[in-house]
């Protein structure tokens, strides 16, 4: 997401490179690029006007800081304005003093509202908050069945009264059931329509007035762009929302919705959906999103994803293997499967500073190479997986693996060679040495920034990597080779 917006904004920084300072004359072209970038990202027109005006005013009035280039200073101004536009901090979900907390889900049909309700329930379950899903969408075929299926998948109960019951009555009885069962949070999935209509809004108002929810969350399809602003305004004016969930943020979104929703409603974005899986819901952090938009990655979210998937005891064992160059093909398979659990390779790479330049073709090639590596490793014996050096000295073993995996002996030889390079590099990294790049990692060869050299420098996230680690700190627990 945001690739096109990031590229356009980079064009604005280029207008200031080579300049001694920010001035009224040289800032105009950079500001025009920012305006074009936001309009092409389908940001609401009024939001664009306000954003650009603020950036221009702050840029012209900014004092020149010694040692900071004008383009870096301009990036910081845009970053801070992005924070102002999207909300400066994460806005957590409300939690009632007396349970249950009641959350009302609203939105048009097709935005992923029912799935978002289940994703939110799973998120709360991870926080040890018991949840009851309430199915009030009696109009859309199979909507109740869909919620029941999702509830079983995440082990969260679903309350329903069938398709012939009144939605307002279903909501009332659902809340009463939650109170009786000592449930912490009730999530009410309401009916959506293909478009906003009077009946839809009247029903939502009735449910809201009856159950008095602590949160009214509008589910918005991030791919609708500027239309998301109009949708947000209509719902907020008529029912009063307290926050939004942006879905389909992993799709071909241009970013307009993320930059428009809060400015139009004055209410925060609370969560973003980043995939079809029920686990693919993340709390919305404006600072992290601003960093992604500016192509600077999102390391904090990456670390949080890793923590959810990694066993810390297993991670310590893996770290020891890396430091002693005992990392083998079995360990490599574990790591690739861990990456798959965290999401797509492309999604993960885009969170790493400097990796936003990777094209879809390059990421697809990386995915393909990883699959090829898995196929070849799958044709190895357990002894060969644990001792990759065996394959270096045995052409007959390489030929057998090639036949078993449907690849050539040359392919197997290249995999073994790359793996040995990667193992050596990891050992050097663990000892505080920084060899060139990650081109030896199977699946990463040929990608810009992965074949040697330093990461791109830049404000907040560029520069020459983390400080060298001199020795293993036994008090700290890492998460493997990520």
Which residues have CB under 8 Å from 306's CB, separation 6+?
338, 342, 479, 480, 482
Q: What is the pLDDT of residues 371-409, one digit of tens each?
A: 888 899 999 999 998 888 888 889 999 999 999 999 999
Q: What is the pLDDT of residues 196-232, one digit of tens each?
A: 888 889 999 999 999 999 999 999 988 877 777 788 8
Please state whether beta strands 131-135 and 158-159 pair in parallel, antiparallel, or not at all (unpaired). Answer: parallel
Q: What is the pLDDT of residues 140-160, one digit of tens each?
A: 878 999 999 999 999 999 999
| Model pLDDT, residue 447 | 38
Q: Which domains, from first to last, does the chain contain?
A: 3-86 (1.20.120.140), 101-284 (3.40.50.300), 301-430 (1.10.260.30)
> Residue holding tokens 């991030």?
222
Is the pLDDT confidence value at 302 over 60?
A: no
- Residue 468 burial class via C-beta count within 10 angstroms: exposed 0-12, middle 13-18, buried 19 and up: exposed
Query: How many of the other CB atoms lie within 10 Å of CB of 240?
Result: 12
Helices (H), 186-226: 198-211
Is the pLDDT confidence value at 112 over 50?
A: yes
Rounded (5°) CA angle 305-113-93: 55
**Closest Cα to residue 458, out of 362, 359, 350, 355?**
355
**Closest Cα to residue 434, out of 457, 455, 462, 459?**
455
Q: How confident is the model at residue 474 (pLDDT cuts 50, 70, 90)?
A: very low
Residue 347 is inside which H or E element, if any?
Answer: helix 345-349
DSSP labels, 67-95: T--HHHHHHHHHHHHHHHHH-SS--PPP-
Is the pLDDT confidence value at 349 over 50?
A: yes
3-state secondary structure (DSSP) of residue 131: strand
Q: How confident is the model at residue 136 (pLDDT cuts 50, 70, 90)?
A: very high
Dihedral of the CA atoms 200, 201, 207, 212 (nearest 10)?
Answer: 160
Mean pLDDT of the chain: 78
Q: What is the pLDDT of residues 4-61, one digit of tens each?
A: 676 667 766 676 665 666 677 777 888 888 888 888 888 888 889 999 999 888 887 6
CA distance 416 to 116: 43
Mean pLDDT throughout 436-445? 45
| Model pLDDT, residue 144 | 94
**Closest Cα to residue 257, out of 103, 104, 85, 30?**
85
- Name which of 75-84, 299-308, 341-350, 441-450 the model is least confident about: 441-450
| Model pLDDT, residue 277 | 85
| Model pLDDT, residue 457 | 35
Percent of the chain with pLDDT over 90: 29
Query: Which string of b and e fits 100-119 if b means at least 16 CB within 10 Å?
Result: bbbbbbbbbbebbbbbbbbb
């Amino acid at each position: 997401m945001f690739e096109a917006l990031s590229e356009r904004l980079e064009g604005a920084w280029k207008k200031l490179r080579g300049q001694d300072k920010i001035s009224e004359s040289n800032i105009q072209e950079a500001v025009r690029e920012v305006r074009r970038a936001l309009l092409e990202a389908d940001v609401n027109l009024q939001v664009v006007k306000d954003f650009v005006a603020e950036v221009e005013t702050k840029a012209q009035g900014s004092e020149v800081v010694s040692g900071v280039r004008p383009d870096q200073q301009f990036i910081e101004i845009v970053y801070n304005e992005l924070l102002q536009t999207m909300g400066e901090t994460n806005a957590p979900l409300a939690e009632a003093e007396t349970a249950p907390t009641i959350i009302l889900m609203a939105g048009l049909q097709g935005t992923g509202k029912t799935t978002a309700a289940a994703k939110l329930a799973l998120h709360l379950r991870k926080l040890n908050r018991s949840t009851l899903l309430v199915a009030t969408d009696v109009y859309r075929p199979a909507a109740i069945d869909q919620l029941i299926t999702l509830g079983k998948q995440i082990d969260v109960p679903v309350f329903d009264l069938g398709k012939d019951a009144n939605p307002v009555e279903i909501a009332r009885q659902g809340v009463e059931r939650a109170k009786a069962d000592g449930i912490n949070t009730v999530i009410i999935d309401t009916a959506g329509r293909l478009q906003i209509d009077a009946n839809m809004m009247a029903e939502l108002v009735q449910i809201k007035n009856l159950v008095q929810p602590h949160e009214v969350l509008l589910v918005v399809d991030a791919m609708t762009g500027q239309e998301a602003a109009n949708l947000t305004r209509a719902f907020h004016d008529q029912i009063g929302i307290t926050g939004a969930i942006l879905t389909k943020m992993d799709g071909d979104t241009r970013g307009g919705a993320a930059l428009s929703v809060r400015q139009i409603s004055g209410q925060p974005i609370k969560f973003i959906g980043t995939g079809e899986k029920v686990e693919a819901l993340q709390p919305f952090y404006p600072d992290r999103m601003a960093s992604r938009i500016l192509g600077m990655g999102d390391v904090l979210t990456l670390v949080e994803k890793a923590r959810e998937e990694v066993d810390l005891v297993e991670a310590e064992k893996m770290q020891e293997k890396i430091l002693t160059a005992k990392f083998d093909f079995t360990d490599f398979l574990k790591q690739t499967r861990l990456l798959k659990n965290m999401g797509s390779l492309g999604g993960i790479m885009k969170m790493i500073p400097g990796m936003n330049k990777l094209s879809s073709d390059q990421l697809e090639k990386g995915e393909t190479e990883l699959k090829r590596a898995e196929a070849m490793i799958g044709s190895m014996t357990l002894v060969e997986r644990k001792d990759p050096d065996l394959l270096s000295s045995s052409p007959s073993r390489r030929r057998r693996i090639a036949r078993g995996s449907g690849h050539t002996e040359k392919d197997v030889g290249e995999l073994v060679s790359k793996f040995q390079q990667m193992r050596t590099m990891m050992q050097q990294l663990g000892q505080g040495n920084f060899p060139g790049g990650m081109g030896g990692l199977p699946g990463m060869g040929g990608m810009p920034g992965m074949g040697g050299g330093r990461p791109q420098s830049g404000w907040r996230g560029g520069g020459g990597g983390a400080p060298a680690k001199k020795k293993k700190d036994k008090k700290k627990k890492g998460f493997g080779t990520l």
